Structure 1
Amino acid sequence: MKIIEVKKDIFWVGVIDWNIRNFHGHTYTTKRGTTYNAYLIVDEKIALVDTVMGTFAEEMIEKIKEIIPSKNIDYIIANHVEIDHSGAIPEVLKLFPQAKVLGTYKCKEGLWRNFYRDMDFQVVKTGDTLKLGKRTLKFIEAPMIHWPDSMFTYCPEEKLLLPNDAFGQHYATGERFDDEVKESELMEEAKKYYANILWPLSTIILKKIEEIQKMNIPIETIAPSHGIIWRRNPERIIDAYISWANNETKKKVVIVYETMWGATEKMGRRIAEGIISQGIETKLFDVTNADRTEIISEMLDAKGFIFGSSTHDNDMLPTLAGFLEFLKGLRPKNRIVSVFGSYGWAGGAVKAIEDLVKEIGLELFQPSLTIQYLPTKDELDKCFEFGENFAKIL
């Protein structure tokens, strides 16, 4: 079993979940799998920072035994109560019953509810420290990044930040560090993670980054609890988070539609051609067969959104409706939005989309485009013009 040393005497003891394809229920598709990262810090006292999904507990414990075959774990740092990080705590405590668990008060509540109340638990808060020997662990509460119990752990002697879910990616690979993988793939997965999980928490994330920057703590390595460890250029992911959290966008349009007999699809394709004619990056998705996780990721840095649907029972089609409800929970801001659609004898889809766009908190920037039955050549020309005009207001 390969032992991976993050820093001297600080080891990655996580596991790689190569085959998982859905996360958080079915809200997130993980086409590249994921990892559950845990870290063993070996000093005069030994600390395990986070664990793994319970189904992988044995694999993690085997790594730990190989590193410390005749020593005990003194502390388990629970940065987050979610079971992909805390699920193996009961198995670790069976092997090391004397270990004390440290986390926030909300973490204590969650672990007691998930597992049992007789674990030796010490509540910590921002500024509290734990001396292990040559190394110190400093705790930074990070509520709602992305659960109320979340916290970061920082080791000043190693300039190492262990932020649990922050700065992570669902990215299963045999390599563990950012200088060992393709940056394009790494940033694609980091962006996808932010867009689908952290986007609605952007204001909180900005404040937390500002708080840490004011602490003037040097950071050479960021070791999250999913995916790759940032050691070559941790500023790369911090800067990306600042950009995403500020809702910074580029001249790019994402069109998401659902069609019944092809009329709405014809409209969407022609609208896209109009936008592209103005030199604007454009992504066109049929929501019924595209990956929602990928669509949301593309929307994170897009200035323009366009939504379209055929009419069904005086409403939009159901897959697009579900997509927009999901988007509402992500709370995007400062976007330019337009709507299009088709109908037979009575409309309703376009108005339903408009109403939901307003619920999301976004503003409609030009009159919607509605066409009855299949679009004629002249009507397709209007779709092209609709796209041109949308591009010009970006």
Structure 2
Amino acid sequence: MTITNSQSGTNVHEIADGIYRINTPVEIEGAGGFSFNQYLIVDDEPLLFHTGLRKMFPLVREAVATILPVEKLRYIGFSHVEADECGSLNEWLMAAPHSEPLCGTVAALVSIGDLADRAPRALADGELLSLGTHSVRWIDTPHLPHAWECGLLTEERTSTLLCGDLLTQGGANLPPITEADILGPSESFRQGMDYFSHTKDARAMLERLASTNPTTLACMHGSTWQGDGAKLLRALADELST
């Protein structure tokens, strides 16, 4: 792990071949420790997934610059429209003049076509996008965990699921990668905050994600998890059904 900003504690860690977790720990008044993660896929056409909050842009940009020149970014992707997902989208588009927003077709239609300073590259459900040696596939997950436009990316070569707000863990000083239980902590966090939409289609969508057989789950908040991702996603489906 490399600390890229000693004041904020922002750090970078390679979680899979060519995929880097950028992490900033924070203390939220009244809520305790928390963390915000972005994921950078280094390739011929580099992709940043999650922009981070707008006010966090200088920290994330500084971290990205330790891995590759920021202006080389080709895609700025995110799961759904929320401040920590795409709050600094336009700042990234300015910093990387050849980049495009990358999102699902619903997000492009209802929000990003208007909010972004450049037109988005909208991915259809199941569409595969080559970045070079890595390829990412967009999977629509409407209302899982929340937002109509929600979707996730799976990186096929490394079997990495960029799983957004699924399996969120509280805490500010968690390890970059873990094989320990994260379902228990994430369920405790979810039940306290109740940020899931409780869609009736959750099990079917989680089964579809499980069928990709991920071995790395790149969580937006908390540690990245490694192990039998299909088993963990099915266990999450069981929890959501109770």
Normalised TM-score (structure 1) = 0.54
Per the TM alignment, residue 121 of structure 1 is displaced from its structure 2 partner at its CA by: 0.6
**Structure 1 pair 111–173 and aligned structure 2 pair: CA distance change class (3 A):** farther
Supply the distance in 1 between the matched residues of 2:72 and 2:89 (Cα, whole angstroms). 14
Counterpart in the other structure of 1:166: 166
- Name the structure with the higher strand share: 2
Structure 1 residues 78, 44: CA separation in 2 closer, same or farther (over 3 Å shift)? same
- Cα–Cα, structure 1 residues 16 and 220, in superposed 2: closer, same or farther, change >3 Å? same
- Tell me by how many angstroms 1:242 deviates: 2.1
* Deviation readout 1:87-107 (Å, 9 max, x if unpaired): 121221121122011112332
How has the CA–CA distance of structure 1 residues 124 and 43 changed in structure 2, closer, same or farther, with 3 Å as cutoff? Answer: same
Show the counterpart of 1:190: 186
Q: Structure 1 stretches of 5 or more lacking a match?
A: 23-29, 248-394
Task: Spell out, residue by residue over 1:181-216, the C-alpha distance to the aligned partner (whole angstroms, 9 max, x if none).
Answer: x74xx4443012332335551532212012334xx4
The one-letter code matched in structure 2 to 1:219 is P
Counterpart of 1:205 (choices 189, 196, 202) is: 202
Task: Give me the CA root mean square deviation.
Answer: 2.2
Task: Report sequence identity in percent.
Answer: 20
Whichever structure has more helix as a proportion of its residues is 1
Q: What secondary structure, in the 3-state scheme, does the structure 2 residue paired with 1:3 have? A: strand
Q: Structure 1 residues 197 and 107 mapped into 2: Cα distance closer, same or farther (>3 Å)?
A: farther
Find the partner of 1:20 among 19, 28, 42. Answer: 28
Query: Quick check: 1:218 aligned with 2:187?
Result: no
Tell me how far apart the structure 1 counterparts of residues 40 and 221 of structure 2 sit (CA, whole Å).
15
User: Is 1:171–1:228's contact at 8 Å kept on the other side of the alignment?
Assistant: no
Q: 1:62 to 1:224 in 2, by over 3 A?
A: same
- Report matched runs for 1:133-282 at 5 Å: 133-145=132-144, 146-179=146-179, 183=181, 186-195=182-191, 196-198=193-195, 200-201=197-198, 203-213=200-210, 216-235=211-230, 237-247=232-242
Q: Deviations over 1:253-288 (max 9, x none)?
A: xxxxxxxxxxxxxxxxxxxxxxxxxxxxxxxxxxxx
> Matches of 1:199 and 1:71 in 2, distance apart?
35
1:36–1:85 CA contact under 8 A, matched in 2: no
Instruction: Specify which structure has the bigger relative contact order, considering alpha-carbon pairs within 8 angstroms and separated by 6 or more residues.
Output: 2
Spell out the pairing of 1:122-141 with structure 2 (5 A cutoff).
122-141=121-140
Question: Aligned residues, how many?
Answer: 230
Secondary structure of 1:223 counterpart? strand
Question: What is the correspondence of 1:332-371 to structure 2 with a 5 Å cutoff?
Answer: none
When normalised by structure 2's length, the TM-score is 0.85
Q: 1:6 to 1:52 in 2, by over 3 A?
A: same
Q: Is the 8 A contact 1:14 1:52 kept in 2?
A: no
- Residue in 2 that maps onto 1:36: 36
Say whether the 8 Å CA contact 1:9–1:43 is kept in structure 2: yes
Offset, 1:236: 5.9
CA contact (8 A) 2:160 2:215 kept: yes
Partners of 2:198 and 2:238 lie apart in 1 by 13
Which residue matches 1:55?
55
Q: Residue 167 of structure 1 contacts residue 237 of structure 1 at CA under 8 Å; is this kept in 2?
A: no
**Bigger Rg, which one:** 1
Runs of 5+ unmatched residues, structure 2: 5-10
